[in-house]
Structure 1
Amino acid sequence: MLETAGDVAQRFRLRVPTGTTGLDRPIRWTHISELADPTPWLRGGEMLLTLGLELDDPDELAAYAERLARAGIAALGFGIGVRHPAVPPALVAGAGAHGLAVLEIPRGVSFQDITFHVNADLLHTGAAEARLIAEGVSSMTMVARSAGTQGIVATLAARIDSWAVLMDRHGNVHAAVGAARVHIDDARAAALGQRSRIRHPGLTVYGVGDPVRPRAHLVVAPRPDRITLTRELAQHAALLLDLALNPLSGGDTWGLARADAVDALMSGDPALVSRVSARWNLLAGNVAVALLRSRSRAVPLEDNALEWCADLDLPPLVSSESSLVTVLLPEDELGRWTARVAEAVEREGVPARCGIGTAQPLPSCLLSRRQAEQALAVAVADARPVVEFAGLPTQRLILQHLDPAARGALTTPLLPLLENDSTRVLLRSLRVFLSENSSWEAASSQLGIHRHTLRQRMTRVEELTGLSMSVTEDRVIAWLALQALQLGDAP
């Protein structure tokens, strides 16, 4: 524990003309100066020792006390008997007004004695604090293996002799140790940046996971004499909590493993599908494909999808490619998944659109992906959080049950486009433009191109197809042709 101003006064039997004000402040070092303004050489937390050789005028003494208080020193030791017979009243009044303790040092007590003893104790305290930090990190690491997040938070609170709260990014409490309801309310306000009065000042918030978009917040209330210890242990606790909340988050390797598993399960190779499904605990039942697209290019959805899988206790079969996130879902979990995504969009503000195909046997889940693409297009066009392909009876009746010749007839308007668009750039631009309800701004943002470039492409589409994108009937013809074309490509 760091020495306080009160400890120094008691050890050297010093008079304290400012009373009990500021005596509990911890001292981090000592400094001697006779400058009228030593603040440029102070870092805060020092005990400053002076004889006041440059100080005489009452106004100067009051201003001197205010400068020191603003610099954050722990206490002022004022030597008497050389320049001043006693601590000047103006200095006492000025220091007391700013909560700064003044210790009167008589001629029989040398500054060197105070400096030697206090700084020696501080060095010893620093070594002890380093030992406490090492022991605390070791304890939290050991308990993390058996007790998870609750054990980490409990150990941290015990080591810093204070309370600690762990909550998710929405303010829901994961673990709270030593914290009453008022502490939790203050922790939530501090973590989420809410505009409410925090009754416990000095709270410190540590992000768990991604520093830009943390998956959780660790809030602690450091004691004044354990600030360094609290900071070091809380930072280590945040790292351990990140692993405890998502033990499989292994960076790029984990992402590649998930992507490879999703690709293998949709490969259609029965032997490969069987091996991979066994490893991912998908031994029985059908699987549906969900596709997600973010309405904001600045908000990737892969982390959200992984978080939702964790919330629902689902296998994290999630992969991301370009602007699409693919998720494989067990058939009996579609209802819970739909509700979770809808809640995230409508209540949590996640800018997502989701399309879900029908559940299929694993070797045939590529068909579910095709259906999910069509459902996602409807979700984007209609501004709906989630659309299931099974809930699109009109499209299924009109397109899925048409014979190949009838579907081919629907695609006729796009044949000139297909013949002159070998890279499919125009076809994709048309699909996105119509999916975004003919919004130039949204479609160009989704495609990552300038609005003028999109207008040039749409002009070329109109020239090739004879359809006008400003005419509702022509847009409907183009949309049906796109859907028929896509459905015709499905196995």
Structure 2
Amino acid sequence: MPDPIEAGGRSDPALDMALDRTDHGPVDGTSLRDLLQVAGLGLELVAGDQARLDLPVRWTHTTELLYPAPYLRGGELVCTVGALLVDERSCRTFVSAASAARAVGLCFGLGDVHEVIPPALVEACHSAHLPLLQAPLGMPFLAIAEYLAERRTLAAGRDNLRIESLLTELLDGLRSQASVAAMMAMAVRTLEGCLSLVADGRPIAVDAPERAVDGVLVTAALGPGTVFTWSGAGAPPGLRVLARLGRVIELASHGRNVEDSLKRERTGQLLLPVGDRLANPVALRPMLEELGIGDGPLVISAWPAGSAPLLAVHMAGGLISEAPGIALAVTRTAEEVAAASGVLLLPCGFSRSVALVDAAGAIAESIAALQLSRRRGVIVGPASLTSLEGLLEQQPIGRLDPFVDQLLTPLISADELQGTRALETLRSFLRNEGSLQRTAEDQYVHVNTVRHRLMRIHRVTGHDPLVFADRVALAIALWAFDRRQNSRR
């Protein structure tokens, strides 16, 4: 290994502001400057280039290695208490390694090893233009990671809503026979870049070519010889997102059979009444027998409205229907559903395997699973409906308001007035499945401190976290609170 001091390793001060999403995963834009403004973290800037405070922090990495570069991917805030930073050489080595690995900054925790940050570390960071943050005594590095995770979750939720809204618009366009040009224009308004659809080397459609940027491309392969490409100066869409949108637009470039569309709509007019128990499932038997499915076993899957033409292509052996607000498919197995979902990358919920006579329950099950799939961004089956989270996600937002207003709101107010951390401790206690010891380790406090905080929660809310029924109520309140916060952002 070359000597990191002699090799230099100083990274470019103009480090990529967005950090390539295809290499590092989505970045929500939380910067070092944002972290410095979070009062609960208590971070202070000690040294470094002010211009680099606006770089996004991909994640935190806690280490006491003198040369952590092999374990960094770029974009991390490297956290340390400086166990090995005992002289000028060790400080220069550590800073050079972090800079060479494209870390966005260092965070030094006081109190465990050093009462003050070593001056040699401050000087090394200043020379490398690498921001150096100071964490106060008692502030766990985990708190920074949790804050970043929360911000990333919120950003992912906002991005999912934006993409799902566009997908709904495209599927509506597909159903209403909109032109490829019109659908490309819909996508460009949301993705803010140039889009092109090419088949066998021949451009099928191009929109907003003036927004293209040389060398900035995301290309999704839709099939043999067919690609869908984005280029632009803004944040690029993920590959999976581009593929989902591209498949809808690509289908619109082919001729659409009006008779097949009407047949799928007639099938939908029968399936929905079956699901509402207003029609006998046996009425489906002739259509199912034509496909070799007969009386079952069968699986029913629910998909976004307008997706029936796509399903007809990728689930050729199933009964496909289009109904108001939803598309339904009947297949022999869940594997057929999973295979189509893997290609189309659309929200999808599917039922357990049932006989034809039980189709009504299977339809209701698949629609409930679709609702969860829209929120989670993955295919959802019947097993997810039997979890507490699955049950909660099916509830209207307002139905859980009493849990938030009566349990969490008083707790949050008490934390703000008294400067306590009861809510944070409650989260940790629930995350650690009611283990006092693991919660204490998570919070970097003594077990008795955890007990004291739980007693305070009991006094404020009237619910004892050590009692199972009360703990469930508090977990519901916290879940509902987080969903309410997400819906407001």
Same fold (TM over 0.5): no
TM value normalised by structure 1: 0.38
The structure whose Rg is larger is 1
